[in-house]
Every structure is written in structure tokens, then in C-alpha cells.
């Protein structure tokens, strides 16, 4: 194997919630040295949110934090002290990249805005991954995931024709979108610096990244003045098109028939070949007109079969169908296991814990699965003495002064 892609990259992370770790995970897994600055005085929400290992709460026991934070270091630092700010400045002088996703103004309050960072290190790259960006009337609004998803209009697309908008099941939805944009932007900035020697500021608004998932609806509104219709699982171009109950407790399978050939194949599979020519269902338009009856017909068949059976027999006949996997299914999914997506690692407090690996497989430089998610402040001594060059006496002084909290 060759040298890790980001082996020489150094990142100082001033992060909160999920968007930071999900962005930095890509770089950490491929060799970057990532030091996350945090504090036990106001621990990250991902450290204090359930589920906890063995259902025992603890600042180092959250599944949220540990699942996404492998291969990173934790420096616990009280940024509201002069000594803490001095350590932060030393860390920035060491780093190639500073990433933050606080509400705009927090870094500036500490004297760590982009202009100040350039005084510390002229070629620094700063990634500001805030909710709404550093400009505009929304710039000071807190970036809660549920709020970001709502203001982007996503709930308007979710729900049933006779009901109102529904919230997204995972509240911090934009936290999972924004990191893809941030990673690409940072790689571009690194390339630019390698060619020119110049750093730059990346101002990324999570609000705006969410809109890329809504483009058809936005274009329809702009061109036709038409707002999205909430149609549950129905779409205009397919029927049957739904999630159907299967044999077993809370077991489901999706079926999506997009043309008459697939419909005829499905009819043969369920033992009703004559339905293919039934006037009620022979064309897509007629299937849409009689969709309620069609869904009832499908449910009567799927309920007697496991979702695995439904998927296998329909896919073999050329009909799109897929299991709705639950968490246990995903954890044991043979496809994911074969590709090594889950990394079991021994954590110092909670024992063996499964971390999320890399969904990208590079043939020459594999992602590393070497260091479990850190306990808070676990790398204080290493970062201060080995990375920043502090003496043992200086480390003890910081410790005694309550700076490393």
C-alpha cells in the first residue's frame, strides 16, 4: 500500500454536533492528523446524546460521538481563559486547516476569525461550516438540524395528500449533507494552496447545501409557479409504488413498477398472470386510477412472504424491489461486511465498539482502522508536548490552572 492520501495534512477542529466529525472523518480515515478542540465544561451534544453503550450515560459513552470519530484526537481546552486561547493559537500555527461550525461570531469573539488566523499562519485554510453562512440576515441563527431542514423546505415534500408537512426522521439531516460539499471544497483549497502557496476562507452554508436535494421542486416552482404535492409513497410514473408489509414483525419491502413489462412479470410471480390484461391495471394510467385497490392486492401477497423472499423473487423476474432494512439488518448486511464498512475497535472506557468505516475504497491507499474515538481530553499531553512542543512543566502548569478541562 502507498502513502495515505492525507498523511501530511494537519487539521485543528473547533467543531460542534455531527457536521464537523462527519467532514473530518474522511480526512482522518485517510491519514490526516485531526485534533478536535472540545471541553467538558460544555461537551458536544453528540457526547451527551443517547444511545449510550450498555445504556449507561457518560461523556465518553455516546454512540453518536464514538461511531463517527475514529482516528481523531481530543484536546480538552477551556477557550474562555487567556492560557486556553494561547494554546489554541499554537495549535493553529501548527495546522494546515482550521475547521469550525459554531454560530458565526463565536470564533471572532475568541479573536480567531479568518483575518486573525492569517496573522498566525499566512497560508492557513479556514473552513467555516455554519448554518447559514457568515453573511446575510440569517447569519446569526443557530444551526439546529431540524430548523435547517425546515427552512430549506424539506418537510413540504414529506407527508400524505390529506395531511400537513412531516419532519425528517433524523433531525440533523443537513449535518449529513454538508460534509460532502465541505470535503470537496477543502480538497480544492488544498490543491490551490499547493499550486500558489496561498490559503483561503471557505464559507459554507449548510442551508444552501440542502437545496441541492430539492432541485426538481425548486425548478418546478420557478418555472410553473407550482408548489410540491405531498403524495406519500406515490409517484406519477410508477404503480404499484409503495412500501408493503411482509411476514414477520415490522418487516417491509418496497416495490416499484415503472412499465407494463414489469407489471406483467409481477403478475406472474404472484400467481395472477391474468391481471396483466385486466382493464383496471393494464396501463400505468389505469393502475394509478385504481392505486388503492392495487396496493391492497399487493399487501395481500407480500404479507405471506418475508421481505427477503419478496425481493429475491421479484428481482429475479426483473421487477424492482428491495428490503426495508432495520438497524440489525444493516449491521449484519453481507454487502457491507464484505466491503469492511464496520470497524470494531477496543475503546478504553466502553470496550469493543463498532465504528463507521469508509464507504470509499481506494485501491492504493486504504482507509485506516487504527484508533478508536477518543475520550474527552485523551490526547492532552500528547498534543501539548509532542505536537506543540510544550515542556512537561508547562503541561503541568496548564493542567493545574484548569485550562485543560
Q: Cβ of 256: how many Cβ atoms within 10 Å? A: 18
Burial annotation 313-326 (CB, 10 A radius, 16+ → b, else e): ebeeeebbbbbeee
Q: Cβ of 109: how many Cβ atoms within 10 Å? A: 11
Q: What is the DSSP secondary-structure string of 282-349? A: SSHHHHHHTHHHHHHHHHHHHTTS-HHHHHHHHHHTT--EEE---HHHHHH-HHHHHTT-EEEEEETT
Residue 222 C-alpha cell reads as 420557478
| Gap between the Cα atoms of 49 and 293, Å rounded | 44
Burial annotation 198-210 (CB, 10 A radius, 16+ → b, else e): ebbbbbbbbbebb
| Gap between the Cα atoms of 150 and 395, Å rounded | 46
| Gap between the Cα atoms of 43 and 62, Å rounded | 12
Dihedral sign from CA coordinates of 48, 51, 57, 63: negative
The closest of 36, 1, 39 to 15, measured between CA atoms, is: 36
Residue 137 phi, psi dihedral angles, 5° rounding: -65, -20
Q: What is the DSSP secondary-structure string of 85-143? A: HHHHHHHHHH-SEEEE-SPTTHHHHTT-SHHHHHHH-TT-EEEEEESS-SSSTTTTS--
Active site residue 175: yes
Q: Is 351 helix (H, G, I), strand (E, B) or coil?
A: strand
Cα→Cα distances 178→18, 174, 202, Å = 10, 6, 13
| Gap between the Cα atoms of 109 and 13, Å rounded | 17
Q: Cβ of 222: how many Cβ atoms within 10 Å? A: 9
Catalytic residue among 29, 175, 203, 304: 175
- Which amino acids are annotated catalytic? 175
Amino acid at each position: 500500500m502507498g502513502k495515505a492520501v492525507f498523511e501530511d495534512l494537519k487539521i485543528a477542529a473547533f467543531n460542534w454536533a455531527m457536521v464537523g466529525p462527519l467532514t473530518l472523518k474522511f480526512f482522518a480515515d485517510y491519514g490526516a492528523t485531526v485534533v478536535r478542540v472540545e471541553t467538558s465544561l460544555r461537551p458536544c451534544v453528540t457526547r451527551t446524546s443517547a444511545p449510550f453503550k450498555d445504556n449507561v450515560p457518560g461523556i465518553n459513552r455516546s454512540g453518536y460521538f464514538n461511531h463517527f470519530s475514529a482516528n481523531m484526537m481530543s484536546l480538552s481546552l477551556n477557550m474562555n481563559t487567556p492560557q486556553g486561547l494561547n494554546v489554541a493559537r499554537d495549535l493553529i500555527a501548527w495546522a494546515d486547516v482550521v475547521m469550525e461550525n459554531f454560530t458565526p461570531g463565536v470564533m471572532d469573539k475568541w479573536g480567531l476569525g479568518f483575518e486573525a488566523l492569517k496573522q498566525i499562519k499566512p497560508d492557513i485554510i479556514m473552513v467555516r461550516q455554519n448554518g447559514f453562512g457568515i453573511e446575510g440576515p440569517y447569519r446569526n441563527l443557530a444551526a439546529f438540524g431540524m430548523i435547517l431542514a425546515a427552512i430549506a423546505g424539506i418537510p413540504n415534500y414529506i407527508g400524505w395528500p390529506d395531511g400537513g408537512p412531516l419532519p425528517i426522521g433524523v433531525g440533523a439531516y443537513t449535518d449529513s449533507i454538508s460534509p460532502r460539499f465541505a470535503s470537496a471544497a477543502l480538497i480544492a483549497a488544498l490543491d490551490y494552496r499547493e499550486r500558489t502557496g496561498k490559503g483561503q476562507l471557505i464559507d459554507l452554508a449548510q442551508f444552501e447545501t440542502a437545496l441541492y436535494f430539492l432541485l426538481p421542486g425548486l425548478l418546478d416552482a420557478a418555472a410553473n409557479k407550482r408548489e410540491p404535492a405531498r403524495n406519500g409513497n406515490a409517484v406519477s410514473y410508477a404503480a404499484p409504488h409503495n412500501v408493503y408489509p411482509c411476514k414477520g414483525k415490522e418487516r417491509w419491502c418496497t416495490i416499484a413498477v415503472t412499465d407494463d413489462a414489469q407489471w406483467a412479470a409481477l403478475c406472474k410471480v404472484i400467481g395472477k398472470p391474468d391481471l396483466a390484461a385486466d382493464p383496471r391495471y393494464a396501463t400505468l394510467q389505469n393502475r394509478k386510477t385504481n392505486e388503492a385497490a392495487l396496493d391492497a392486492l399487493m399487501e395481500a401477497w407480500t404479507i405471506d412472504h418475508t421481505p427477503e423472499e419478496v425481493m429475491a423473487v421479484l428481482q429475479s423476474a426483473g421487477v424492482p424491489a428491495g428490503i426495508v432494512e432495520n438497524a440489525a439488518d444493516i449491521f449484519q448486511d453481507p454487502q457491507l461486511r464484505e466491503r469492511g464498512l464496520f470497524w470494531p475497535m477496543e475503546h478504553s472506557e466502553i470496550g469493543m465498539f463498532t465504528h463507521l468505516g469508509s464507504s470509499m475504497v481506494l485501491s492504493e491507499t486504504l482507509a485506516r482502522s487504527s484508533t478508536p474515538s477518543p475520550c474527552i481530553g485523551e490526547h492532552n499531553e500528547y498534543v501539548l508536548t509532542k505536537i506543540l512542543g510544550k515542556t512537561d512543566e508547562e503541561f503541568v502548569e496548564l493542567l493545574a490552572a484548569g485550562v485543560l478541562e
